[in-house]
Structure 1
Amino acid sequence: MELVLLEEQQRRFFDDNGYLIVPGALTEREVEQLTTVCDRMIDEFGREADQYYIQRRPGIVQERAFHPLLTHSSTVPLVVQLLSPNIHLHTTAIIYKFPQDDAGEGARGWHRDIGMTEDLGHERIVRAGIKVGYCLTDFPAPLP
């Protein structure tokens, strides 16, 4: 793993917003390989006809295609600099969200994980963990 230094504007953005976007974190080839594996695993898991959200956790750590993400230079060094070098893999998930009409809009959006559901305000929340998520497909812009 190569050391990628966290830039000062990245640290400020994370401190102010609680998240960080790393454009180009994965190569096109990595995205293609991971998408193929994720599609297969989700297909095996099954989906109800009207199910817009599906999450799979079992079997991910056993799938070799995901192993390089554990030491990926584009993200892991940033987590170490934002949190500490004492990091652990807490959980893994493949999450698929399918198109949904506006009626389900309330169920969308970001939320806090790691058992800290009470919103104490961004300034007061303990930085106990950082979730790394890789978006393998584009998010279309909302319609006006």
Structure 2
Amino acid sequence: MNPSCLKYALTEEERRTFNETGYLIVENALSPEQVRMLTAECDRVHQQKIREGYDPKTVLTHKNFVPDSDLFLDMVDYEKILPKVWGVLGWNIYLYHASMMLTPPTGLEKKEYTFSWHQDSGQVNHEPEFHPRPRLSLKVAYFLSDASEPDRGNLWLIPGSHLYENLELPEKGQPEGAIPVCVKPGTAVLFDRRIWHAGTMNWSDITRKVLFYGYGYRWIRTREETTVEQLWDKCDPIRRQLLSAAVNCDGYYTPTDEDVPLRTWLKEHQPKMA
């Protein structure tokens, strides 16, 4: 890992924003060329799914997409964003979830309804006896399509709701304080898994394209079946850590330096983080 990534470290203002609102918007995280190349890879995967029988009129949620392209793999430890992730969660982290989402236009007339509001991680929101619920993980959403206006399949969220245990839903419309996340292509949005959020219908003529990378503590189980182990041989030690490598099972709970090379790297380059 190049020490130049430290210029993208989480600032105190960003930390305060994330802690208070539950999310952080990083504009121009990707260059136009990166957006173009990643979009081309998404389109390639999309066409492959269509050939396999996927209905192109429906939402594509493709998990475990990282092995599909070296470009997707390179985003696992992307220098402009990973320092912000470890700035929030620390060094004992890995990629526990990945999902490519393509939301085509509905072709339907827009109508008002209450979105499917939720917090991530299912039973984690019910079983641990903590208030507020523990953070445990966050997601990074890389927007490849233009979501700078509402009705484009935007992510909706409620700022500050990561500290809510419950959410009162209206009979019609959205909860108080709910907003659409309107961002341009190349934007990265980091959000706390606890924040109440919702995916929405796409009433535009633009297919929404987003890559989600979920980071959590290494002792958390992966959310889906993955095949990232096949990538370890061509990865450096820190990337292998992020792709769930460990010396043995105990290394997830009591990590050695070999288990968490990110900690060793931070001791050298950012001692206050290690």
> Shared topology, TM-score over 0.5?
yes
Deviates more, 1:57-66 or 1:125-134: 57-66
User: By how many angstroms is 1:61 displaced?
Assistant: 2.3
Of 75, 79, 83 in structure 2, the residue corresponding to residue 73 of structure 1 is 79
Aligned to 1:57: 63
Q: Whole-Å Cα distance in 1 between the matches of residues 112 and 104 of structure 2?
A: 11
Deviations 1:8-45 (A, max 9, x none): 22111111221111101111111111000011112211
Q: 1:38 aligns with which of 39, 42, 58?
A: 42
In structure 1, runs of 5+ residues without a counterpart are none
Q: Deviations over 1:78-133 (max 9, x none)?
A: 00010111111112111011233434853466x42233455xxxx71211011111
Structure 2 residue corresponding to 1:113, chosen from 102, 117, 120: 120
More strand by share: 2
Matching residue of 1:17: 21
Change (3 A) 1:40 1:63: same
**Aligned partner of 2:39: which letter?**
T
Which segment is superposed worse, 99-108 or 19-28?
99-108
Structure 1 residues 14 and 141: alpha-carbon distance in aligned structure 2, compared to 1, 3 A threshold: same
TM-score (norm 1): 0.81
How many residues matched? 137
The answer for unaligned runs of 5 or more in structure 2 is: 152-274
Q: TM-score, normalised by structure 2?
A: 0.45
Q: 1:133 and 2:141 equivalent? A: yes
Superposition RMSD on alpha carbons, in Å? 2.4
- Bigger CA radius of gyration: 2
